[in-house]
Every structure is written in C-alpha cells, then in structure tokens.
Amino acid sequence: NTPNSRASFVENGTLPILRLVPYLLLEEDSSDNLRGLTKDQIDNLSTRNYEIPHSEDDEISKMCSVCINEYVVGNKLRQLPCMHEFHFHCIDRWLFENSTCPICRQPVVT
C-alpha cells in the first residue's frame, strides 16, 4: 500500500482492518460481544482532542489500536471507561456491533 492508497481508505471510511476486527476478536462465548451499543450510549462516552504527548509515558498511546494509525494533533479521540482511547470514528463503528473494549474486553456500559 502506498501512502495515497491508505489516505484513500481513510477518506472513504473503508479501512480494511475494521471489517476484520470483529471476527478476529471473537471469543467462544461471544454473545455479549455481538450486541452493540446504541448511538446515545456511544455519544455519552467522553471525547478529547489529541495533543502532543508531554512525557515518554504518554508515548505508548500514540496509536489507534483499531486502524493501527498514529494519532495526529487535533484528532478527536473517544475514551472508554477502561481508559483505552481510539479515534472516535474507529471505536464508534466497533461499538455499534460490540459492547466491550477491543483491547481489554471490559464492558463499556454496565
């Protein structure tokens, strides 16, 4: 993939990995994971704009685990109750079909 083709995927909202993530992360008892959140539940989760990390400890969270792209200053991030953060459009898409964090599997709403 060239940088231009990656940008094209992002602009069109068709990141190929997003289509695979739900299938790659399924557990044997995945019934809870297949029920997504409502738009209102997702909209009630906190968001923030990404800023340049102030310390090396913050460097670890420079990349969205859903699309595997680094954050850019000004990107809107959504933070889950478990404190994991993602591009809002990446995690929103995930949460419409799943009710848990894609990293730690904690329920997003209780």
Predicted local distance difference test score (pLDDT) of residue 103 = 92
pTM: 0.64
CA distance 77 to 79: 6
pLDDT tens column, 65-84: 999 999 999 999 999 999 99
Residue 32: pLDDT band by 50, 70, 90 thresholds? Answer: very low
What the chain holds in terms of domains, given with CATH numbers, is: 34-53+61-109 (3.30.40.10)
Query: 3-state DSSP call for residue 28?
Result: coil
Q: Which of 6-10, 19-23, 53-57, 103-107 has the highest mean pLDDT?
A: 103-107
Tokens of 13: 């909202």
CA distance 109 to 49: 22
Mean local confidence (pLDDT), 23-39 = 63
Residue 25 has pLDDT above 70, yes or no: no
